[in-house]
Amino acid sequence: MPDMELNAVATKLTAARTKLILDKPFLGALVLRLPMVVADAAWCPTTGTDAKNFYYNPAYIDSLTLAQTQFMLAHEALHCALSHFARRQHREIARWDMACDFAINPLLVADGLTPPYNAQIMDEYEGMTAEEIYPLLKDNENEQTLDQHLYDQDSQGNSGGENPDQGQGKKDNQTGGQQQETDKNPSGKDRDERQQPGKGGQQFEDEQTATPPPPLTNEERETLEIQWQQRLAGAAQQAMQAGKMDGAMARMVDHLLQPRLPWRMLLSQYMTAVARDDFSYMRPSRRGQDDAILPSLHSAQLDVVIALDTSGSIKSAEIEEFLSEVSALKGQMRARINLIPCDAVIAPGAPWVFEPWEEIWYEDSIHGGGGTDFRPVFQWLDEQTFKPDLLVYFTDAEGIFPELEPHFPVLWLVKGKQKTPWGQRIQLN
């Protein structure tokens, strides 16, 4: 592309970024963290990111409107801010990349941005994370992502079974070690040397990048994940102070910034805390022995109520995993379990009572059809002669809560982004 046309594309990118900063300060602050790099169309037909730079095909940017250009800038920035490069774990790369696009694009549309014609958007995935979308996609999904996810090996057409660090070593050997330092481009120039202020004070590469960047090493992933979490928190704070962040984007950020501790560990800690062994001075059976009454260790049995949200948002496999964990815990601390499935009403035949030595089972056929109302469970407990040592509610927290907090501990295990008005909330990973 002639220099004049390249300058016009750079001007469009600068204008799009400036408009994001003014209109969408949260997204604009994230976009500013990605220096813009001209990419070869042979490996970058649209745009892409390696969590360090924004790579773009000038011809593709030229074909977009200014509004669509804003969308692509924000799209790449959210991949980074949401740490999609670090969250894949064992998942298949192409399928994971598609799930990430399906998670991001509805957020941007809801925030008022205009997607290109080929952006992956499906209404049924709105409000879902990439982890939630991934199992819903077919293994043989032929659809291509909107952009290039350059932080993974397969994003560049290589084998997905290769360790990122191994792939890095191969590329270094092939290029004579020129890319051992990720802050250097194929010409060997340092980042600070090759990033020059463009129009509007933005940063652009001074030459086209002929080869794609190497995939991230494990160390780079860890470092960048921390950096982007910090950037996400800072950008969100600034946008909220300016009163320019609400809706789905605000809920997503609030969800991401919550502490994400292992729920199994926390559940075990809470159940153990109420299972207190104490010394009892009850006279033991001591026929033919001394009449002295000595203290003996006595463990009281716990009464734990487990409430299951059966409104439809919680999958059967997730319920089974949760109940399996509870079943393993209750045997260790002598806990009687009252199991109460509930959507807007308590399931017929509930509660089901399981003694410490009994394995918990759950009728998979029990599914609610209505909305979610948490009050029936608490009303049922008000009518009982006993008060539970602990109530654990497994839910997405989207429903009607009782107005008053009860006089017993409540532990909410929440799948999703919703908050709870009281009790202890544990985020399901």
- pLDDT at residue number 118: 83
- What is the rounded average pLDDT for all residues in the chain? 76
Cβ neighbours of residue 210 closer than 8 Å, sequence gap 6 or more: 40, 186
- pLDDT at residue number 224: 93
This prediction has a pTM of 0.55
Examine the pLDDT at 266 and tell me if it is beyond 80. no
Q: Percentage of the chain with pLDDT > 70?
A: 68
More confidently predicted of 362 and 174: 362
Least confident of 91-100, 288-297, 348-357: 288-297
Q: How many CB atoms lie within 10 A of CB 128?
A: 17
Quick one: pLDDT band at residue 12, thresholds 50, 70, 90?
A: very high
The pLDDT of 239-259, averaged and rounded, is: 67
What is the residue-wise DSSP string for 160-202?
A: TTS-HHHHHHHHHHHTTTTTSSTTB-TT--BHHHHEEE-GGG-
- pLDDT at residue number 180: 37
Structure tokens at 19: 């408009």
Least confident of 187-196, 217-226, 361-370: 187-196
Are 376 and 349 in contact by the 8 Å Cβ rule? The answer is: no
Domains of the chain, with CATH numbers?
A: 3-257 (no CATH), 263-284+292-427 (3.40.50)
Examine the pLDDT at 31 and tell me if it is beyond 60. yes
- pLDDT at residue number 379: 95
More confidently predicted of 356 and 28: 28
Q: CA 403, 406, 409: angle at the middle one, nearest 5?
A: 130
Distance (Å, rounded) from C-alpha 396 to C-alpha 71? 30
Quick one: pLDDT band at residue 91, thresholds 50, 70, 90?
A: confident
Least confident of 62-71, 284-293, 294-303, 396-405: 284-293
The pLDDT of 155-172, averaged and rounded, is: 38
Q: What is the pLDDT of residues 103-129, one digit of tens each?
A: 999 989 988 999 998 888 888 888 888
